Amino acid sequence: MTEAVTDWRQQPLAALMRHILDTHHRFCREQGARVAGLFADELAARGQDAALLRLQGLFTQVQQALTVHMAKEEQVLFPMIGQLEQAAAGQAAAPRFSFGSIAAPIRMMDMEHREAERFLARLKELSNGFTPAAADGARARELYAALAAFDRDLAVHTGLEDGIVFPRAVALEAQLNAA
């Protein structure tokens, strides 16, 4: 996969943000819907299972929070970072944001990443590391595998944002302010 060979630190932020949207935001939505469907099917088959209902409740919360979080990145933060990168390349005037520094919305996104991680960590703990019980059937195994894939992709996704996109956006803004 391109993930393994692309060094995103060397790529324009616009390309990395495009990749995040096309790959990780898309996966988060599609896999989130798949996991939600598997929870519903498994609960319908198994009846009221308190442990499973608890996992479903946690997953629903993190899925809803991430839906709102991604919309903020897509509609507000990523376009702003795109403006900063264009300005730093001399292709546009330096943008002025109503909230002051780009660091403010980035701090909020960062807090939301940590919150999502806490939810996933709780889900992982309560499901014994996304491990189905010996007596579980094929659908439950599929559900846990789908949850594990959701967790893995989210870690890559937030890692790219926290590790590359956000610090470079802050540095671009500092560079423009110093110019």
**Which CB sits closer to Fe ion, 81 or 146?**
81
Closest approach, Cβ 55 to Fe ion, in A, equals 23
Residue 36, exposed/middle/buried by CB under 10 A (0-12, 13-18, 19+)?
Answer: middle
Task: List the alpha helices (DSSP H) in the chain.
Answer: 2-5, 13-19, 26-46, 50-72, 78-88, 103-126, 138-160, 166-178
What residue ranges bind Fe ion (CB under 5 A)? Answer: 73, 161
In whole angstroms, the minimum distance from the beta carbon of 66 to Fe ion comes to: 8
Looking at the Cβ atoms of 94 and 149, the one nearer to Fe ion is 149
Report the nearest approach of Fe ion to the CB of residue 73 (Å).
5
176 neighbors 94 (Cβ within 8 angstroms): yes
Of the pair 42, 112, the CB lying nearest Fe ion is at 112
